[in-house]
Structure 1
């Protein structure tokens, strides 16, 4: 299974869980309120074991369908919408979807309870009565709430990032922990000149397109976006994931390739094709949640400053990618890449010299 597919599945599953838990809550509270007695058998469905299992499966599948639509379709369709407009637009679509769901699920659940065909006249007479009752309104409100909550989760996940949101929920970094990570500081070349040429609004659109192109490779090679800082992006890997298959290096060249493949698009739309340079380093960081007015997962450690300094030397040494000796040691000189030592170099603000290597991809 590819990292992208794995990531998409991890993003879809919470939708099914949200719908399942809300469905269970509704079923259990209704049963407790009535003592699980059917006070209106003409339209209400008695909560038997078979009905409970059917309802649980049905709402979970519904949540997974919504999650699939969110991940594979709506994410791109409404990418340029504001948070509120995006939420309302999708909510209107799902209103129709939920009415269709009720039209299918109520007759099936009713047929399971009565043990007769869902196409019998008794089932459809019962369904027509249900549509005109307060129970239908209550069901519609419950489904609408489930939809709204799952859409809200989708919007927050998009803004924070799936892994960041997952770490918040699990409390992984509620207490600071020390871990070893690989960092890549990637910076667009000649960004100031490009911004002056295009103007601020068009330059912003270029940045949006630029980051969208780079995102595929980051996902494919299991990187995590730590920060977007203007035209710079900071990417991080847990040590094992970054070393495995030389993901941290492969990611750089995959981003470079993807950007070259979109060169005609950038040239036609913006009149310029962006390119980038990057520095890579590895080291210990302290990771934890931080912030009073806004909380986020924060890395602190010398490795970040050093990586930024390494990236700044790319122009001086006329190379697109520089990595530290300590990272190369962990990568064990992989055969897919060529490494050229630049010798011990002085990094700004540091007394000790560090050996750096330029990296090229073998054809």
Structure 2
């Protein structure tokens, strides 16, 4: 029986948490800066809520929850609503939405904070007098600027994360690969069948739209099996796993079949929209790679090692063997396939450009 959170849920949580952290840190910085700068003196004393321990705790919890709420809305809704706009237009549209949203939030939160400071009910007349003073003073403008700045930082983080990939961005921040390291990884090279013919029939624009849909439909299968997209190369995708994640529960094998299922379920939709239902072939292998940051004008985290060339060569043999999936016997020997899969030996072959031979296997579900 499976227990715990699914990989997709864990990924979403790990993407939402930075929003809360960004908002909390910015909130603290601005809160203390304003308190020190004002020296308890303000141009609008009747509308200002002074910093007490209770107010600080309430403000911290509120800002943290607000940041997490922004992250939730961003990932589960707005990320898709504005996905077809440019970066500048997307951020501007989202900020317009959030400003209106925040105005509503402030109308709720300010009276609560004021009631805590005054030790009265939120419905007390003193609270609403203070709220009116605040709305007509510079502190209200300052609050809007603070929210806008926090919002801009969190949206900027979101867009950079989306473009680089969350895992890559995290590795850049933590400096995990600032110094090259050697690690054991599993790679899958996946290539669309008859892509040249499909591209010629559809034309450049329609083919590009097909690729966007095609890549998107693989997302859940990759995430749910702990895979990481290393590269998109035309119609080819390179997926990678740490050795432990790829071996555990046969994630690297299950990912292939989950992607197959995803395309099969949407075959009619592809036929209706593009006049063709794409299929793919893949090669799978593992080995040691050196992983590190590289580049002067553009930083990337890359893998170098013979395993990448070998996996690409294995994938290139799918047509020769007339199968969709080829795996090295070396990797199969590391897996615990039990009775879920049937393996068929393809023999030993010498890969192009290689001196050593490789034993190959194809796998099918029972």
Aligned mates of 2:43, 2:99 — CA distance in 1: 28
Aligned mates of 2:218, 2:43 — CA distance in 1: 58
Residue 113 of structure 1 aligns with which residue?
117
Residues 267-311 of structure 1, C-alpha deviations (whole Å, 9 max, x = no match): 000000000000000000000001111001100000000000000
- The 8 Å contact of residues 188 and 232 in structure 1, kept in 2 or not, is answered as yes
State the 1:201 CA deviation. Answer: 0.2
Aligned mates of 2:41, 2:237 — CA distance in 1: 59
Residues 1:167 and 2:176 are matched in the alignment: no
Aligned mates of 2:351, 2:269 — CA distance in 1: 37
Q: Secondary structure at the match of 1:339?
A: strand
Residue 305 of structure 2 aligns with which residue?
301
Ranges in structure 2 where 5+ consecutive residues have no aligned partner: none
Residue 16 of structure 1 is aligned with which of 20, 24, 38? 20
Aligned mates of 1:291, 1:193 — CA distance in 2: 35
Residue 38 of structure 2 is aligned with which of 29, 34, 45? 34
Structure 1 residues 334 and 182 mapped into 2: Cα distance closer, same or farther (>3 Å)?
A: farther
Residues 1:218 and 2:218 are matched in the alignment: no
Residue 251 of structure 1 is aligned with which of 238, 255, 259? 255
State the 1:58 CA deviation. Answer: 0.2
Moved more, 40-49 or 196-205: 40-49
State the 1:37 CA deviation. Answer: 5.4
Residue 356 of structure 1 aligns with which residue?
360
Residues 1:346 and 2:350 are matched in the alignment: yes
Aligned mates of 1:47, 1:38 — CA distance in 2: 13
Moved more, 97-106 or 306-315: 97-106
TM-score by length of 1: 0.98
Residues 163-187 of structure 1, C-alpha deviations (whole Å, 9 max, x = no match): 1101111110010000000000000
Ranges in structure 1 where 5+ consecutive residues have no aligned partner: none
State the 1:34 CA deviation. Answer: 2.7
Structure 1 residues 177 and 36 mapped into 2: Cα distance closer, same or farther (>3 Å)?
A: farther
- The 8 Å contact of residues 20 and 59 in structure 1, kept in 2 or not, is answered as yes
State the 1:35 CA deviation. Answer: 3.1
- The 8 Å contact of residues 246 and 334 in structure 1, kept in 2 or not, is answered as no
Residues 136-187 of structure 1, C-alpha deviations (whole Å, 9 max, x = no match): 1111101100011101111001001111101111110010000000000000
How many residue pairs get aligned? The number is 362
Residues 110-157 of structure 1, C-alpha deviations (whole Å, 9 max, x = no match): 110000011111111111111111111111101100011101111001
Q: Secondary structure at the match of 1:187?
A: strand
Residues 1:89 and 2:93 are matched in the alignment: yes
Equivalent residues in 2 for 1:278-357 (5 A)? 278-357=282-361
Aligned mates of 2:72, 2:88 — CA distance in 1: 21
**RMSD value over aligned CA atoms?**
1.0
Moved more, 246-255 or 120-129: 120-129
Aligned mates of 1:148, 1:115 — CA distance in 2: 34
